[in-house]
């Protein structure tokens, strides 16, 4: 039987990249997927594709930085669908910024979604899961949050370090309510954000984009950057009962870039 059969899974930032891959994999594993993203056309497309492949999916438009909207959104969805079993906190923003070029507004924009929005989404979902007797929360962090020097910028690394810390604390607090909380820390992953960083770094250094991509892969022990589905495979496990005794962990998926 599919590992997520009968479960309701909400995935933020589900319009593309890692979030889309997780939404599609969860649907293939039998979950009813709620795809949340700020991009309406992207949400409509992922929902249509899941349904075309025989899955069940619903879409919602939301800005994860507008935290006052998150609890009403999550509670409304749970009321309509009857439950919320899995939350995947994936929505994030970043861009390539030199250490000395980071401005207060850059810091605030990144942390608004990556840390502040993630926490209040997790809080609202945990309230529902506590009422129904349990659930699984998967936070998408990054090896940048563990000090990987190849990060797009220090503000992004700080926001993902916050995600790792919040994952550990939430796991400790919520374990008594049968709620598992884990983080996935992707390394170099070929998403829209990846290609954006590649373009920005190529422009900043005067190199070709292909040269920047080759340099990224050359530093990975397996010589291969992630595809979004590499992250989705682990997200399915962490959202399933197979991981019932796994909580508070930050799992690297990075081809061996770091060992923490």
CA dist., res. 113 & res. 118, Å (int): 7
The residue behind tokens 């749970």 is: 78
CA dist., res. 46 & res. 238, Å (int): 22
* CB distance 62 to 70 below 8 Å: yes
Biggest alpha carbon–alpha carbon distance for the chain: 55
Checking DSSP bridges between strand 8-12 and strand 56-61, what pairing results, if any?
A: unpaired
CA dist., res. 158 & res. 130, Å (int): 29
Nearest to 182 by CA among 231, 138, 142: 138
Of 119, 120, 148, 156, catalytic:
156
CA 105, 43, 34, 187 torsion-angle sign:
negative
For residue 223, how many C-alpha atoms fall within 13 Å in the half-sphere facing its CB?
A: 1
- Is 156 a known active-site residue? yes
Using alpha carbons only, what angle is made at residue 90 by residues 79 and 138, rounded to the nearest 5 degrees? 70
Cβ neighbours, 10 Å, residue 66: 14
Count of positions (residues) in the chain: 260
Report the catalytic residues. Answer: 156
């Amino acid at each position: 039987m599919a590992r997520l059969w009968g479960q309701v899974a909400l995935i933020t930032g589900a319009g593309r990249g890692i979030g889309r891959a997780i939404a599609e994999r969860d649907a293939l594993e039998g979950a009813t997927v709620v795809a949340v993203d700020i991009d309406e056309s992207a949400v409509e497309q992922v929902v249509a594709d899941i349904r075309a492949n025989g899955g069940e999916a619903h879409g919602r438009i939301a800005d994860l930085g507008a935290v006052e909207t998150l609890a009403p959104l999550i509670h409304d969805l749970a009321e309509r669908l009857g439950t919320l079993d899995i939350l995947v906190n994936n929505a994030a923003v970043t861009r390539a910024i030199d250490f000395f070029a980071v401005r207060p507004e850059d810091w605030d924009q990144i942390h608004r979604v990556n840390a502040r929005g993630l926490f209040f989404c997790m809080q609202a979902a945990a309230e529902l899961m506590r009422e129904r007797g349990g659930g699984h929360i998967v936070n998408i962090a990054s090896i940048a949050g563990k000090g990987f020097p190849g990060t797009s910028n220090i503000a992004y690394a700080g926001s993902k370090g916050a995600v790792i810390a919040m994952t550990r604390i939430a796991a400790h607090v919520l374990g008594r309510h049968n709620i598992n909380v884990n983080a996935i820390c992707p390394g170099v992953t070929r998403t829209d954000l990846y290609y954006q960083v590649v373009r920005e770094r190529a422009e900043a250094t005067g190199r070709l984009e292909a040269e920047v991509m080759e340099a990224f892969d050359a530093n990975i022990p397996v010589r291969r950057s992630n595809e979004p589905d590499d992250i989705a495979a682990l997200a399915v496990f962490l959202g399933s009962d197979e991981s019932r005794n796994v909580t508070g962990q930050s799992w690297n998926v990075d081809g061996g870039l770091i060992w923490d």
